[in-house]
Amino acid sequence: KNLSKMSRGEIRSQLAKCNESIKAITGKDNMLFRPPSGAYNNDVVDAASSLGMYTIQWSLDSLDYEGLSEKQIFDRIVPKVKNGDIILFHNDIKNTPKALDQILHALKDKGFEFVSAYDLIYKENYTIDYSGMQKQVQNIH
């Protein structure tokens, strides 16, 4: 569902229901939320925050869902990736598994390290800009 077209209460209800399902399956609380299709607004971010969740977005889209070849997916990612990127891939896409294996090896060879999105994001003193990127806010004394 496009959460950015719902009220804050509806968004919160949807997220809470999803979180209950995740916890029932994994036994763990969900801390991250990526809005479906990347559609978000302040109400979406605020509703997620009220449930103790951090809203994340991707910074680099593989476009794998458009039926790209392994090479096309690889070429969209490897030359463009930079520190801190979150790369969007989708499950159940024909060429993604092989492309992803090649991408991970190439990035590792370039010296990149892989961390969880939770470990990558700021948890305090940040804003989210128009593109969905977090920017750390410096405390002014």
Residue 18's Cα: distance from chain center in Å? 16
Is 102:74 a contact under the CB 8 Å cutoff?
yes
Backbone angles phi, psi at 42, to 5 degrees: -60, -35
pLDDT score recorded for residue 126: 82
pLDDT means per 10 residues in the chain (141 residues)? 94 96 95 92 93 92 96 98 93 94 97 94 83 77 61
d(CA 31, CA 27): 13
pLDDT score recorded for residue 62: 96
- Widest distance between CA atoms in the chain: 53
pLDDT score recorded for residue 130: 73
pLDDT score recorded for residue 1: 85
